[in-house]
């Protein structure tokens, strides 16, 4: 069920969006009706080829067509093009099911067509305000206006969706936008370039330009899809490694996922970029991968370990480093994995480094690792409460943990207290 805040937000967006659509329909420029229909069909074709970023968010190259319509037709016809693209799309979702306007929840359809109509409308106003004239060649006179309008369109579009997701999953807007949309900005700027180029070519050469440029547009979509597939293959490999470890060590079941989630909160407090945070997430998932080489009777021993057994287990950060060292894209991750048991005062392992010799990323992994271990049951003790674990870590400032990582931990804990527990 949608909560009250989500319903109010959807109602506001839909009210504004439908008003924009109604105004567009009543004031459509009939002289440009043919171009509107053709571009609307082209928009529908591109919207029917979505690329799923996650189960909630998909993107398409339809952005380039909408921008093209904005530059060629202007408001209100450009809004009609964007709406036709949304209404006429026939897409296959990530579960291989056919999706049309008729089998989507009505509120999702209304929200989608409303947010895109608002985005096109405001971007059109920006283009006109900056001196742009729809129907005239963009380059070079109106190029700056077109670039600014394309950025406004993209930011409005992604921000409205991010705001809805923020309310649905109860996470800060900025963190949602950063995690799901910020990294796509470069791709959308490239699509903006294609859209501007298509608009200029259309106004110079007519409909033949649509045929010429539609193929490169599909190639852009194909390359983006390859990138997403490659990214997913990395995660599939990483998850396979963590599952192999969890199958061997029953006491760490779900531990890596928990460490990953806690580490992300600390990364946000550290101000890491999304790409940087992504690498820390990978390190969190792989931080104990070296335990794969430890014999099970020691790894799962119910009682206290002997000194020899403990020394043996203490080699797992080195083993993890050795496993990862020949993977080019994990060149930094391998060091964070190696150092995640080092202490600020130099009493950690395996290398006994101290202070700022320990990368902040490794410190973040260490705090997340220790916190999750403390709030989890172990063969030799029951789990600590969340508050007890918090106090133990804060009291370890200056010995196990540095003041800088404790500051990040305190801020992350206060903002996300309910998530600082083991049962993710």
Of 216 and 279, which is predicted with more confidence?
279
**pLDDT at residue 208 in the model:** 86
**pLDDT at residue 54 in the model:** 58
**pLDDT at residue 105 in the model:** 78
The answer on pLDDT for 94 being more than 70 is no
Give the three-class secondary structure for 349: coil
pLDDT-derived band at 95, boundaries 50, 70, 90: low
pLDDT in tens, 235-277: 777 777 777 777 766 666 678 888 999 999 999 889 887 778 8
**pLDDT at residue 127 in the model:** 94
Q: Note the CATH architecture for domain 249-419.
A: Orthogonal Bundle (1.10)
Question: Which of 17-26, 88-97, 156-165, 192-201 has the lowest average pLDDT?
Answer: 88-97
Alpha helices in 253-402 (DSSP H): 255-270, 274-286, 296-299, 307-313, 316-324, 333-338, 360-374, 386-394
Structure tokens at 292: 């794969």
The answer on pLDDT for 110 being more than 70 is yes
pLDDT in tens, 308-328: 877 788 889 999 999 888 887
Domain boundaries, the chain: 4-230, 249-419
Calculate the average pLDDT of the chain.
Answer: 85
pLDDT mean over 347-362:
94
Helix (H) or strand (E) holding 91: strand 91-92
pLDDT in tens, 190-238: 888 888 888 888 888 888 888 777 777 777 777 777 777 777 777 777 7
**pLDDT at residue 57 in the model:** 60
Helix, strand, coil percentages in the chain from 3-state DSSP, rounded to 5? 70, 5, 25
Question: Which of 15-24, 83-92, 296-305, 337-346 has the lowest average pLDDT?
Answer: 296-305
pLDDT-derived band at 424, boundaries 50, 70, 90: very low
Averaging pLDDT over each range in 10-19, 42-51, 156-165, which range is the top one?
10-19
The answer on pLDDT for 18 being more than 50 is yes
The answer on pLDDT for 416 being more than 90 is no
Residue located via tokens 């963190």: 175
Calculate the dihedral angle through the C-alpha atoms of 238, 241, 242, 248, rounding to the nearest 10 degrees.
180
**pLDDT at residue 52 in the model:** 66
CA separation (Å) from 302 to 244, 251, 311? 20, 10, 17
pLDDT mean over 38-42:
91
**pLDDT at residue 250 in the model:** 65
Helix (H) or strand (E) holding 245: helix 208-248
The answer on pLDDT for 367 being more than 80 is yes
CA separation (Å) from 75 to 25, 26, 196, 258, 278? 11, 12, 16, 48, 39
pLDDT in tens, 163-185: 988 888 777 787 778 766 776 77
């Amino acid at each position: 069920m949608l909560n009250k805040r989500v319903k109010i937000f959807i109602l506001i967006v839909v009210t504004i969006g439908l008003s924009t659509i109604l105004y567009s329909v009543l004031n459509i420029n009939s002289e440009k009706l043919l171009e509107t229909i053709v571009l609307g069909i082209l928009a529908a074709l591109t919207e029917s080829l979505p690329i799923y970023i996650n189960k909630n968010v998909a993107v398409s190259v339809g952005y380039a067509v909408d921008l093209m319509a904005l530059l060629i037709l202007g408001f209100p016809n450009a809004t009609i093009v964007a709406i036709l693209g949304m209404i006429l799309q026939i897409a296959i979702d990530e579960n291989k099911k056919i999706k049309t306007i008729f089998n989507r929840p009505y509120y999702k359809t209304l929200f989608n067509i409303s947010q895109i109509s608002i985005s096109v409308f405001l971007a059109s106003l920006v283009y006109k305000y900056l001196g742009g004239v729809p129907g005239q060649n963009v380059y070079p006179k109106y190029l700056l206006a077109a670039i600014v309008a394309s950025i406004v369109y993209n930011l409005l579009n992604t921000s409205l969706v991010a705001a809805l997701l923020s309310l649905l999953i109860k996470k800060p807007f900025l963190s949602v936008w950063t995690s799901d949309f910020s990294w796509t900005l470069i791709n959308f700027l490239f699509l903006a370039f294609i859209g501007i180029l298509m608009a200029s070519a259309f106004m110079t050469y007519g409909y033949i330009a649509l045929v010429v440029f539609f193929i490169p547009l599909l190639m852009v979509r194909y390359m983006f899809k390859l990138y997403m597939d490659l990214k997913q293959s990395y995660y599939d490999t990483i998850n396979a490694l963590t599952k192999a470890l969890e199958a061997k060590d029953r006491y760490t079941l779900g531990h890596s996922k928990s460490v990953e989630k806690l580490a992300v909160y600390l990364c946000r407090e550290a101000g890491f970029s999304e790409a940087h945070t992504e690498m820390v997430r990978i390190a969190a998932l792989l931080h104990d991968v070296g335990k794969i080489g430890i014999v099970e009777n020691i790894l799962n021993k119910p009682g206290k370990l002997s000194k020899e057994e403990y020394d043996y287990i203490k080699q797992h950060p080195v083993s993890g480093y050795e496993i990862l060292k020949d993977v080019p894209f994990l060149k930094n991750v391998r060091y964070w994995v190696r150092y995640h048991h080092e202490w600020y005062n130099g009493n950690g392992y395996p290398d006994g480094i101290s202070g700022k010799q320990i990368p902040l990323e490794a410190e973040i992994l260490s705090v997340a690792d220790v916190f999750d271990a403390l709030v989890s049951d172990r063969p030799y003790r029951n789990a600590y409460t969340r508050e007890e674990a918090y106090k133990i870590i804060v009291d370890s400032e200056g010995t196990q943990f540095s003041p800088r990582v404790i500051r990040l931990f305190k801020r992350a804990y206060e903002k996300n207290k309910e998530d600082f527990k083991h049962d993710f």
